[in-house]
Amino acid sequence: MTNRIEVADKLPALPGEVIIYEVDAENIITRIDASWKVFAESNGAPELNEANVIGKPLLHFVSGNVTKKFWINLLNHVRTSGIAHSFNYRCDAPNTKRHMNIKVAPLDAGHLRITSTLLSTKPRPLQIHFRRAQQRTAASIARCSMCNKVAYNKEWIEAEELNRGLKTTLDVTYGICPVCHVKIDL
Ligand SMILES: [Zn+2]
């Protein structure tokens, strides 16, 4: 999962498109819906084919320890409260800002249904590819999993504000910025 262009580059492009999947009580992916299959096939994302996704832990597809911890808390919170939880986040492609919503809803026996909906897109004048860095180094940049801002000089800014040129690749490690931390506090 390291040093390759991210799965996010291949997600749906049209507002209103949804991806639905389900996990069991152990957070193992048990079901993906037809839209997932269509987008995996039409976007040449073999790593997301049904055979590679069903039976895998959901956390296998989440980067960064802080983000993983957030997901575990969120899934457990929905199970114990029995109430669906949703929030907005960003899932950008290199030249598109994508505003998404995710909803986690409880099912029977600790199973959960996760619905991800594309709300809107906005073009980005620069093409910025994000690559997962294996570990934090002097060259890597922290990126927020929720709002997609990057850390620079103790501030969190849009990646294009780094002014690294018209087409660039950034090596990033994933975390959650302080603003999003407050927003998603369960
Ligand atoms: Zn953030």
Average pLDDT, the chain: 84
Q: Evaluate whether residue 63 is within a structural domain.
A: yes
How far apart are the CA of 6 and the centre of ligand 1, in A? 18
pLDDT in tens, 106-139: 999 999 999 989 899 999 888 888 888 877 788 8
Q: How far is the CA of 150 from the centre of ligand 1 (A)?
A: 8
Write out the residue range of the structural domain in which residue 105 sits: 7-183
Residue 1 lies in a domain: no
- Domain tally for the chain? 1
The closest alpha carbon to 53, from 70, 76, 73, 30, belongs to 30
Ligand 1 centre from 145 Cα, in Å? Answer: 7
Ligand 1 midpoint to CA 160 (Å): 15
Tell me, in angstroms, the distance from the centre of ligand 1 to residue 177's CA.
Answer: 4
Q: What is the pLDDT of residues 29-79, one digit of tens each?
A: 999 887 776 666 655 565 677 778 899 999 988 888 888 999 999 999 999
Inside any domain, residue 73: yes
In angstroms and rounded to an integer, the radius of gyration of the C-alpha atoms of the chain is 16
Could you tell me the distance, in angstroms and rounded to a whole number, from the CA of residue 41 to the centre of ligand 1?
Answer: 30
The tens digit of pLDDT for each residue in 131-177 reads 888 777 888 899 999 999 999 988 999 999 987 777 789 999 999 99
Q: What is the CATH number of the domain that holds 17?
A: 3.30.450.20
Q: Which two tokens stand for residue 164?
A: 């690294």
